Amino acid sequence: MDKPIRNNGPAALVASDLNGTLTTGSPVLAVYHWLRANQPDSPPPLFKYRILLSYLQVKAGLREIDTWGQQAMSAVLSFVREPDTQVLERLMDFVVERELWPARREKPISLLRKLHKEGGEIYLISAAYHPAVERFARYIAPERVYGIGTQVLLTEEGLCLSESFISRKKKLEALLEKIGSRELDVALGDTFADIPLLERAGKAIAVHPDKILESRAKEENWEIIR
């Protein structure tokens, strides 16, 4: 029997992973597609295929996913020519409008909207570009839905990631910096890396879980969404 939501009233506090949990879209490929559409001579030949090949190495356990993600996100940003605030805004709009939102998972999104309608406060936590995570949050609802991601910096050398990369190990830490000592009522995640987040919630929900998370979810009687 699934755990009831500890507090589903106006003060309900909800946290969710983004990539894999709420969307199957790729922020890295989204930036690449923006480059192909707007600066077609910028990305080097075969860059997309090198990224896909390196991701297969991650899936095979040959590369660490946080290191891969940070390197891939940084690399594709470095190809954006003559960036300014407006370019960054258009780029992040594209990432969400053309990639992340169209690839959204309807069931968990519907659940978040239901909890929000009941008065809940929602946080999305991801290693993805912070401006994109914020935009995705606003697609769920225009208020009381907040994004936490890796900041993108506009420097003289171009676009780059903040050194404060929101790795899997830092997700919970980043969330706690925002919510303080408040109790977490509901949490959603899709991989074993989200287990620490799910453990803190009154109700834990595994979304299309990997094998490790699925096994843990069954042990703990957590809800599973597919």
Token pair for 114: 């239901």
Q: Which residues fall within 8 angstroms of residue 129, CB to CB, at 6 or more apart?
A: 27, 73, 92, 95, 149, 150, 152
Q: With contact defined as beta carbons under 8 Å apart, do 58 and 65 qualify?
A: yes
Angstrom distance (rounded) from CA 54 to CA 89: 28
Token pair for 86: 């407006």
3-state secondary structure of 13: strand
Give CA 118 to chain center in angstroms. Answer: 23
> Which residues is 188 bridged to in the sheet?
16, 205
Each residue's pLDDT expressed in tens, for the chain with a length of 226 residues: 445 455 544 568 999 999 999 999 999 999 999 999 999 999 888 999 999 999 889 878 888 888 999 999 999 999 999 999 999 999 999 999 999 999 999 999 999 999 999 999 999 999 999 999 999 999 999 999 999 999 999 999 999 999 889 988 899 999 999 999 999 999 999 999 899 999 999 999 999 999 999 999 999 999 999 9
Where in the chain are the domains?
Answer: 13-225
Taking the model in full, what pTM does it have? 0.91
**pLDDT value of position 91:** 98
Look-up of token digits 């295929």: 49
Please tell me the chain's helix, strand, coil percentages from 3-state DSSP, rounded to the nearest 5.
Answer: 50, 20, 30
Angstrom distance (rounded) from CA 6 to CA 163: 36
3-state secondary structure of 122: strand
**pLDDT value of position 11:** 67
- Say which CATH class 13-225 falls into: alpha beta
- For residue 149, which of 219, 70, 76, 91 has the smallest C-alpha distance? 70
Pairing mode of beta strands 158-161, 152-155: antiparallel
**pLDDT value of position 76:** 95
